């Protein structure tokens, strides 16, 4: 059984040289419960819903075990939200979760695994740009991508 370590929402939009001009990757933990909506956590933002959001990418979840692996690789602490994740969890292998798996969070929330994360250049710039050249390839090769979740899987969506 997994444990929710932290729920994270955007701390602030940041300028980004990508096509949208801003990014909402800077996520930080919130204290207390937070609502899960079809497009993500209440008080969160998705600057680019075409590539980094929408209902099939409403939530990004990352595991504490995978974060610990990257801490050892990068030689720094990577707190909840550092990967741009909305949910940091422990006790769940999110990177190998089957698509369509449904998970219950608390008494009322049900989410569904929709796809693994595909890292992008925004993520590479966030991680360190020139300091971490080849980050997208390195992150992908490690096989620890985390997963995107649909945020309203408790509702019948015609499946």
* CATH code of 93's domain: 2.40.33.20
Rounded Cα distance, 104 and 140, in Å: 27
pTM: 0.90
**DSSP SS3 for 151:** coil
Please indicate, yes or no, if residue 50 is contained in any of the structural domains: yes
Q: Is residue 66 part of a domain?
A: yes
For residue 71, the enclosing domain spans 3-150
- Give the β-pairing of 3-10 and 87-90: antiparallel
Whether residue 156 lies inside any domain: the answer is: no
The structural domain count of the chain equals 1
Going through 11-135 in order, the beta strands assigned E by DSSP cover 14-15, 22-23, 27-29, 36-37, 40-41, 59-63, 87-90, 102-105, 109-116
Of 112, 97, 90, 94, nearest to 159 by C-alpha is 112
Q: Give the C-alpha separation, 6 to 15, whole Å.
A: 25
86 domain-assigned: yes
pLDDT tens digits for 80-121? 999 999 999 999 999 999 999 999 888 888 999 999 998 888
End-to-end CA distance of the chain: 26
Residue 117, domain member (yes or no)? yes
- Does residue 155 belong to any structural domain of this protein? no
In tens digits, what is the pLDDT along the chain, a chain of 159 residues? Answer: 789 999 999 998 888 888 888 888 999 999 988 999 888 999 998 877 776 778 999 999 999 999 999 999 999 999 999 999 999 999 999 999 999 999 988 888 899 999 999 888 888 888 876 566 788 999 999 999 999 999 766 554 433
């Amino acid at each position: 059984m997994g444990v929710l370590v932290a729920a994270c929402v955007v701390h602030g939009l940041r300028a980004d040289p990508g096509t949208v001009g801003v990014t909402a990757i800077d996520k930080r933990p919130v204290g207390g419960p937070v609502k899960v909506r079809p497009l993500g956590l209440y008080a969160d933002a998705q600057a680019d819903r075409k590539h980094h959001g929408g209902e099939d990418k409403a939530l990004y979840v990352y595991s504490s075990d995978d974060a610990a692996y990257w801490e050892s690789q990068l030689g720094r602490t990577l707190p909840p939200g550092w990967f741009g994740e909305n949910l940091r969890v422990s006790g769940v292998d999110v990177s190998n979760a089957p698509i369509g798996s449904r998970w219950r969070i608390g008494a009322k929330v049900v989410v569904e695994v929709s796809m693994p994360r595909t890292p992008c250049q925004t993520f590479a710039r966030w991680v360190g740009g020139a300091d971490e050249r080849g980050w997208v390839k390195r992150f992908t090769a490690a096989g620890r991508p985390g997963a995107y979740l649909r945020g309203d899987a408790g509702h019948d969506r015609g499946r």
